[in-house]
Structure formats: C-alpha cells, structure tokens
A = this chain, B = another copy of it.
Amino acid sequence: MNRPAKAPADLHPLTDTTANERLYRYESSVKQAFDNIVPVLKQIASERCDPDFVDRAQQITAQEFGFELPAHILDTAWATGLDMRRLFAWCVFETYRRVSDEFFNADPLGGRVGNDFQAFLQQCGFHLMDITPCADGRLAHAISYVLRLPYGAVRRKSYAGSLFDIENTVEKWIETELMRFREGIPNRADEPTRYLKVVIYHFSSVDPAHQGCAAHGSDDEAAAREGWERLAALRQAIENGFCCGASVGLLLIGMDTDTDAIRVHVPDTNGYCELNQWLDVAKVHEITRGLSAAEARTRIAELVQAHMPGSHAGGAQANGMGASSTDGLSDKGMLQLIARLIENNLSQIDYVRHFHDGHYQDIGHAERFIGTGIGFEEIQLRNLTYFAYLSTVEEGAADLDVGIKIFTGLNVSRSLPVPIVVRYDYHGNVPGARERAVAHCERIAAALKARYPALCSDGMLHCLRAVRDCDAGTPIELVGSSLEPVTGGMH
C-alpha cells in the first residue's frame, strides 16, 4: 500500500488506474490481515510469563487484529501452557470470517451486480458466461482481477486442472434454458444467444517446468489439450442429448500465473480453435502501448480477427463450411467479447507490473488456508486459498491430498496446523436445504478426520464449518469448528 506509484507513462493507455488502485488496496489489506497473525502471536507468546497475560494478550490482539482471542483457549494457558497452534487456527478462521463478512456486506470489489456486462454479453450473442479456471489458488482472482469481470454476472466453477464436470454443466445448461423458456431470464429462448463455456488453463513463464498446472504435470500443451477436449465433449453432449440446434459457445484461454497475462485461443467460425495458436495479451500490450486508447482498441480488434484459424489461410473455414452450429452474429460477438477480455487483461498486466514488480514474488503456493466443499464466492484473491471443491472426501480425496501436501510444506513444517474451511452453500428456498447443508459439512469434516487421523489427533489440522444461503445474498453462517471448547463429559 505504501509502494510508490510509477509514472503513468509506463502504463497502457487502456489501463484503468483507478480500478488498479482499488483492487490493490483490497488485495493488500486482506493478505496483510492473514500475514499479521504469526508476528502478533509471536509477540503474545513472548509475554506469556506476564502475570496479566490474558489481559495483555487481549489488548494486543484487539489493537492488531480488531478482535479478541477466545477465552476458553487463553484461560487454560496457566495449567497446560498456551496452545499457540489452536490460537493460530482460531485467528485464521476469525480473519476468514471477517473477510468473508465484509465481502458479502460491503461488496468491496463492486462486482455483485453486473448489468452492463450482462447486456454486453447478450449483444455478443451469449446469455450466460460459465468460466472454469483451475482450482489452483493462483487463479482464484481470475474473474475479478485477471479478466476484470463482475463476479455476480458470471458463473465460476473451478476444478483441478480446469477439468470441469460435464454432467453438472449439462444440468446447468438445462436449468438456464428452462429459465429462458419459462421466465424470459436472462432473455427469451427464441433470442439467438448461446450458453458460453470458458476454460482457463495456466502455465508459468518464470518456471515453466515446475510451476505450471500440477494436475497436468506442468505440461502446458496437455493442459490446453485436455481443457479443449472437455469443452468439445460438453458441446457434443448437448448436441447429442437435445435436438433443434441445441449447442454452446466454447472459449479456451491460457493464463500465465506469474504475470497474469492471458492468451486467447480465438475460435474459427465453426467454433473450433487451434491448440498451438493463440493471441498473447502480453504481446498485445507491447504492440499497442504507444497508441492512443481509440487506436489501441482498433488494433486489438484487428489482432483478434487475424488470430482466427483460417483467416490467414484464405478463409476456407471462415466461410462457415460444414455443419456449423454457429452463425454470423455469434462469430462477430465472440470476437467482440474476446477484444473486451483482452482490454480488461491489459489493466491486470499493468497491475502486476506496477504493484508486483512485473511478476509475483510468490510464483508457487502461498495459500493461507484450504477451502473445501461447495461455495467460496467471496474468495477473489490470488494465492489466498487452496481449493478442493467436492461433495464428498471419497470423490475429492486426490485434490485434498495435494492440499495437505502443500500445507505440510507451508504450515506443518513451521509447526503450524493446517486450517481447513469446510463450506456448503445451499438454496434457502428449498425446504430443509439448510439442515442438509449443515449435515453435509459435518459428514465432510468427519471424513477429513478419518482420512488424516494423525494430523487431527496431533492438533495439526483444524476445521471450521460454514454454510451459506446463496439465494439470500447474506454472509456465511458458522456452524461448527474443531476449536470449540470441550464441554463436560455428561453427554
């Protein structure tokens, strides 16, 4: 936050400096809140021999964190010693709760409502944008920062390796179509727009062999290919399962997790893209930096058009030969949408250059906690959370094991426990849904305990349980924690 701003001359003419300042304030304040925990606890630990220790500790945390420590942990310190691990986990959970509450109460990123973007998307020929970034924490800011989209106006479903669930996406497509037919939301079914599915795979320009996508063994080609295969399979599933020209739009994007620059695999008029052909936005930045804003926009549109497969080769494909499921409207609209994403990404490239010296210092994992279950809309910051989205530990065990391995390096090696937030969002208008969500959290927490018994019994894994009514727009509701005071043994 105290970093001196570089001269605007460095910046691209299309960069939104006001947004960059605001986004940086949010990023640094949230991360600072987490990163402050260890130094403050060290200070508290150093005063544990003080006769007024409990008062002193509360005084320090009230001042540094803005909240008090739980009495049931401090009060037993005189007898059993101060359990710094429990205090650490408790502070991480409390900080998470405060960050989450602020997000839902105050909308600090201003992305909850996205009417302008929704209108633009429909102009481009799409009624819903459904994005799957990798679940890697280094892509958690993909929507709000890297692409600068209002998180409330797009669907985000993160999966390890960006390998989204086809059956689940078909269900969402069905639900979306029915809302168009029955209720005209977001537009009527007879309007010629499509559902757009986007995959964002990732790679590392600084350390390509080690810091790429773990799910694909840092093999960028495999990440792109398998992402595209999943997209093509979704389209085939919908075209096979439904008649009358049912289809979806597809878009494949790569992202450099060191610089946040994206590369776009511009699709041809048949909706297919080339895996080894893309438009690199870092290059777009370079090419258009010296132009005026208006000139840069024109040049970007030209570059997007030029990167359509077939546009160099004489346009045989570009004439829409074959059983095309797209039409002129959505071709043109797809190019407009891509141009907008590129323009948005230019701001993020300058964000990283300006505030993070060109590339992030934490090119690898530096997450503050593990988030597992269904939800976490409020996590829009890079490297804050390792995600293991899952309905059951049985299905998500591989992702969880990776998370535990990462946190063994990040935390356990420093004698700090692994903090896991188990979250389950539900639709409050469905009777009994809240109770089922709470039960689901408890089942996941029990399965975590069964999977990592040694960590749990050593106090090296702690678990917070939270649910949220995603229809109501309210903050999360805490429903339990492994840090709760142990009550009497009478029941």
Q: Which residues of A contact B (CB under 8 A)?
A: 166-167, 170-171, 174-175, 177-178, 181-183, 189, 232-233, 236-237, 240-244, 246, 391-395, 427, 429-433, 443, 447
Contacts and interface: CB of A to CB of B under 8 A. Distances in A.
A182 B236 CA distance: 18
Given A393-B394, A395-B443, A430 B240 contact: yes
A41 to B, nearest CB: 35
Nearest to A446: B394
A246 to B, nearest CB: 7
Contact of A167 (B237, B244, B430): B430
Nearest to A393: B394
A431 B236 CA distance: 7
Contacts of A429: 237, 240-241
Contacts of A430: 166-167, 170, 233, 236-237, 240-241
Contacts of A174: 174-175, 178
Given A167-B427, A232-B431, A237-B431, 4 more contacts: A166-B431, A181-B189, A241-B430, A395-B443
Contacts of A175: 171, 174
Among A182, A233, A394, A432, residue most surrounded by chain B Cβ atoms (within 10 Å)? A394
A182 B242 contact: yes
A16 to B, nearest CB: 37
Nearest to A183: B243
Among A243, A391, A431, residue most surrounded by chain B Cβ atoms (within 10 Å)? A431
A-B interface, 8 closest residue pairs, ranked by CB to CB distance from nearest: A233-B431, A240-B429, A181-B181, A237-B430, A392-B394, A394-B394, A392-B392, A178-B178
Contacts of A182: 177, 181, 189, 242-244, 246
A166 B435 CA distance: 13
Contact of A432 (B177, B233, B240): B233
A212 to B, nearest CB: 23
Among A243, A391, A395, A443, residue most surrounded by chain B Cβ atoms (within 10 Å)? A395
Nearest to A429: B240
Contacts of A177: 178, 181-182
A443 B233 contact: no
Contacts of A183: 242-244
B167 A433 contact: yes
